[in-house]
Structure 1
Amino acid sequence: MKILLVCAGGMSTSILMKKMESFWKEAGEELDIKAVGLAEYQDVYQNYDIVMVGPQVSYRLKEVKENTGLPCAAIQSFDYAVANCPNIMKLAQKLYAEK
């Protein structure tokens, strides 16, 4: 699964990305993930299966969905804040099934 994480600047999402990589690896799942800011996602989305946005930019979800044509969702604030990888993985799998 190839996931593009989008947040305001890519910094806070980079922390979440590392935790997701570890969780997916422990679960035996293949994951290719990248964290970028809103200014960058249009340059790289073609290489990904799904897009997940951080809660701080969830107000731009519709725009991201329209621009990429990929399955997109916002990560819930609590799951994002505590890096609740099991819930985030469920959301990613649901999006991936829409591909």
Structure 2
Amino acid sequence: MKIVLICSAGMSTSLLVNKMQKAATEQGIEADIAAYPEAEVTKVGGDADIILLGPQVRFELKKIRGLFPDKPVEVIDMKDYGMMNGKKVLADTLKRLNG
């Protein structure tokens, strides 16, 4: 499973990626989770199973959904992002992917 997180610069989201990866490992889930700046979404989004946007780039949701109409594109919950709750963001992501 490939999860791509998009934010304005790819920096703050790196901490969340680490926490999500740790949660995935603890749960025995094989996942490739990475963060990228919004400018790279066209390069990295094609290989993703799901694209998650940081709250600071939520205004790009419609545009990115338009670029990837066959993929789930969602905004990370602002509270979970602020708390860097990787376990909850991963759980929400799995729910979106598994219906």
User: TM-score, normalised to structure 2's length?
Assistant: 0.91
Which SS does the other structure have where 1:42 is aligned? helix
Q: Distance in 1 between matches of 2:39 and 2:87?
A: 28
Aligned position for 2:89: 88
Give the equivalent residue in structure 1 for 2:8: 8
Report Cα offsets for 1:25-74 as digits up to 9, x if no partner: 01111111111011001011111100000000111111111112210110
1:64-83 aligned at under 5 Å gives the runs 64-69=64-69, 70-83=71-84
- Report SS of the residue matched to 2:39: coil
Preserved contact between residue 72 and residue 95 of structure 1 (Cα < 8 Å): no
1:39 alignment partner AA: A
| Aligned CA-pair RMSD | 1.2
Report the Cα offset of residue 90 of structure 1: 2.4
- TM-score, length-normalised on structure 1? 0.91
**CA separation in 1, counterparts of 2:19 and 2:85?**
9
In 2, distance between residues paired with 1:4 and 1:61?
A: 14
Gaps of 5+ in 2: none
Counting matched residue pairs gives 98
Counterpart CA distance in 1 for 2:82 and 2:6 is 15
| Superposition pairs of residues 51-70 of structure 1, within 5 angstroms | 51-69=51-69, 70=71
**What is aligned with 2:34?**
34
Contact between 2:19 and 2:85, CA under 8 Å: does it hold in 1?
A: no
Aligned to 1:22: 22
- Runs of 4+ in structure 1 deviating by more than 6 angstroms, as ranges, are none
Unaligned stretches of 5+ residues in structure 1: none
